[in-house]
Structure 1
């Protein structure tokens, strides 16, 4: 069968790839603007609603619990229904929930709004993984995965720059209203423009390109039994446990960085806002570079699986290495520099983990395995703000950061020791 290089991408496929990635990045930026709004408005909301650090940790984690639990069904739904409608519906749900957060007048109301936000945002990354597997051959999935993952730190980096002035000029409520409206517009654009590849409309060269130079696999089993079969493989458990560690440490910074800089390092509002953006700009670069690099590493490794897994392990261990001085140094400048390296590596790890899912999963279950990995990750994401808030309230942020480093180390070892071989397709009985 014909083999293609990156420069041999059929023109119509390349146009569809570009459109899909642009749409995924736009939706992803809005996704993370919505998540980060609470962190940016942290101090104002705590004062307005009279919340303690512990209560704020619970509020910051409410999103992650529902988001994590919804990963269990949403991956299978994306594989069955397709990313166009699942992500479109998700955009509408999460945007309405975000706007509802702006109406919150009590702790309980806010928790409900954040739970609904987590439900709505659940399809974003499983849908993106499915889009990449639909439009890119296996050897070239790292770069587009890095591109759509770069929306995460980009959205977080833009949040304090865009939302802090809006909050200062109006109130924290308007930050939720404006970002909610942006998501509703994005929902209309996504559903109107995105389409999956239709095999009947593809030419021979286009089908050969998407097949990646290998024969199409035999049809696999479908339904709930095939989804459950993923849990029989230690690769699934390794990816879930590994992503738990990576996301835990990432969400320590994602949810608490502005509050940490203000409370522990005594920065003023403007300084903390700028310092909170710098690490996530580095994270944006990390996702882009890691996506590109993982394709190169995988092409030279014994297998796509081992190359992409090793990239995750190295990036996650790097997060651990730089978190220790970030917690212990006296200099604010040096601390922010170390945190910037952690966020660079966190987003590199995430991009590589999602590209790993596209080669570790059976072809019919890519979104399902990616969602299960994300489920494990966001159990860590849900625990991080709660545990960090209570450790900081009881002692300080230093042991909270060191705890995150230890959990991330366990995650790296889970990837290394458990994620060894790809999961085979379940055959139809």
Structure 2
């Protein structure tokens, strides 16, 4: 087996395209998570203004996740069929309009609808990003770019309390939705104007040969059919990733949706102090995603199996999430609780980056978006349930059993990755064509 070319051997034009693609994915990802986090930041004021109970707020926090999760299934196939440029561009426009609409709602029902539309619009973000990385990067070098685009989620979440608390406190919570919606529309215009998929890019023969040598999608493969997509569910690897990501995202979304409210209600911090305290763990998450991408590539380069090495990284980081959530729930010190939560979110985003890198290694080249979206579907079923169950458990008892429940769910997810994700999924169509080809 030949060695993977180093970065110095990457043609300059392709290197520039990689940098542009990752920059745009980072910016769109940050806006994506600013939009998701706006509701969590403004949680206390929205509940007071609209007269919502903790249970109703849990439903409102989860409305996004239900539509986001369900639309992962068709979105994955659409990314593989029509390409990430068009699909992510459409998604950016839709979710930005839905986010801005959240600033104008007058009833609980209309707010639920705006959050549902936000989930539909944001659904293409990460499957598209996974396909972009698959298209532009060699198999054993996908960990770092995957970590980079995944780092946008904790970075956006960390910036949300710092940036949006100022708008919420000094103006009104509605302006936080309107401003972030406008920002998303600007990003949509830039994405559509600048980004190109390799198959549509103007590349020389040498540049195309370089990408083709790494199985990049520089020329049309056979169109992904419903049968191709459905066949993914016949593999244990798919189910291990789906169930495993359910546990990972469930625990992460407990913190993502309830951390500001938890700090104000359970630990009695002021809103401004909460803005600072809630940002620290997510900046740690940003570092976790970047570190995981680098480390995942390192161990993969020294392993005979990219799937096994990336899977093991997911399992280790998820078990760490479980281990640190338990003291985070039980300690009396606010400072020590923030430290433990910071470690959990560092590991949660490391696990997420490794999970998406796993999708690029486990899927056939023409179904990376499909497998990644199926995994993400499982994850955001967990993301949809997490705020509801957390809200009702906290309302009935306290946040302590809610956090311990989340730790148990994440443990089951880690075991699903470990026991079910054993080998890559073979492209049956390509294998059959190869067998039928004349010698």
Q: TM-score, normalised by structure 2?
A: 0.95
* Alignment match, 2:435: none
On the 8 A contact 1:2/1:213 being kept in 2, the answer is no
Shift of 1:198: 3.0
Alignment of 1:26 onto 2:20: no
1:279 corresponding residue in structure 2: 281
Equivalence for 1:145: 146
**Cα displacement string for residues 291-319 of structure 1 (whole angstroms, at most 9, x for unaligned residues):** 11100011112311111110000011110
The aligned counterpart of 2:331 is: 329
- Does structure 2 retain, via aligned residues, the 8 Å contact 1:40–1:164? yes
Retained in 2: the 8 A contact 1:199–1:207? no
Distance 2:382 2:284 in 1: 22
Matches within 5 A, 1:80-159: 80-159=81-160
Q: For residues 395 and 137 of structure 2, what CA distance do their matches in structure 1 show?
A: 47
| Partner-residue secondary structure (3-state), 1:424 | coil
Give yes or no for contact 1:27–1:186 (8 Å, CA) kept in 2.
yes
- The offset of 1:389, in angstroms, is 0.2
Q: What is the distance in 2 between the residues matched to 1:2 and 1:200?
A: 26
Equivalence for 1:342: 344
Q: 1:398 is matched with which residue? A: 400
CA distance in 1, matches of 2:205, 2:16: 17
Structure 1 residue 105 displacement after superposition: 1.2
For residue 211 of structure 1, report the CA deviation from its aligned partner: 4.0
- Using the TM superposition, give the Cα deviation of residue 393 of structure 1 relative to its aligned residue in structure 2, in angstroms: 0.2
Paired residues for 1:400-415 under 5 Å: 400-415=402-417
Question: 1:111-165 CA distances to partner (integer Å, 9 max, x unpaired)?
Answer: 0000000000000000000000010010100000000000000000000110101
1:5 aligns with 6
Cα distance, 1:204 vs. partner? 4.8
- 2:215 and 2:60 map into 1 onto residues whose CA distance is 48
What is the rounded CA distance, in whole Å, between the counterparts of 1:214 and 1:18 in structure 2? 19
Q: Is the 8 A contact 1:4 1:209 kept in 2?
A: no
Cα 1:212/1:129, change in 2 over 3 Å: same
Alignment partners' CA distance in 2, 1:63 and 1:265:
27
1:355-388 residue CA offsets vs partner (Å, 9 max, x unmatched): 0000100111000000000000000000000000
What's the offset of the Cα at 1:222? 2.7
Q: In the alignment, what sits opposite 2:166?
A: 165
Report the CA distance between 1:218 and its aligned residue: 11
Structure 2 contact 247–412 (Cα < 8 Å) conserved:
yes
Equivalent runs, 1:51-90 vs 2, <5 Å: 51-90=52-91
Check whether the contact 2:139–2:214 (CA below 8 A) recurs between aligned residues. no
| Cα drift, residue 269 of structure 1 | 1.4
Q: SS of the residue aligned with 1:238?
A: helix
CA distance in 1, matches of 2:189, 2:205: 32
Q: Where in structure 2 are the equivalents of 1:300-311 lying within 5 Å?
A: 300-311=302-313
RMSD: 1.7
Residues 189-200 of structure 1 correspond to what in structure 2 (within 5 A)? 189-198=190-199
For 1:246, the equivalent position in structure 2 comes to: 248
TM-score with structure 1 setting the length: 0.97
| SS of residue matched to 1:139 | helix
With over 3 angstroms needed to count, the CA separation of the structure-2 counterparts of 1:141 and 1:279, relative to structure 1, is same
State the Cα distance separating 1:32 from its structure 2 match: 0.2
Aligned match of 2:377:
375
Contact 2:136 2:216 in 1 (8 A): no
- For 1:249 and 1:214, how far apart are their aligned partners in 2? 35
Q: Is the 8 Å Cα contact of residues 220 and 426 (structure 1) preserved in structure 2?
A: no
Distance in 2 of aligned mates of 1:143 and 1:222: 27
Hey, what's the Cα distance between the residues in 2 that align with 1:218 and 1:422? Answer: 22
CA distance in 2, matches of 1:339, 1:208: 46
- What SS class does the counterpart of residue 265 from structure 1 fall into? coil
Query: Is 1:37–1:163's contact at 8 Å kept on the other side of the alignment?
Result: yes
Uncovered stretches (5+) of structure 1, i.e. residues with no partner: none
C-alpha offsets along residues 332-364 of structure 1, whole Å, 9 cap, x if unaligned?
Answer: 000000000000000000000000000100111
Cα separation, partners in 2 of 1:206 and 1:42, compared to 1, 3 Å: same
Give CA deviations for 1:145-189 in whole Å, capped at 9, x if unaligned.
Answer: 000000000000000110101111110000000000000000000
Residues 105 and 212 from structure 1, CA distance in 2 versus in 1: closer, same or farther, beyond 3 angstroms?
Answer: same
Name the CA distance, whole Å, in 1 between partners of 2:419 and 2:269. Answer: 41
- 1:199 deviates by 7.8
Task: Please report how far the alpha carbon of residue 426 of structure 1 lies from its aligned counterpart in structure 2 after TM superposition.
Answer: 2.5
Aligned to 2:296: 294
Indicate how the Cα distance of structure 1 residues 3 and 328 shifts in structure 2: closer, same or farther if over 3 A, else same: closer
| Of 322, 325, 339, the match for 1:320 | 322
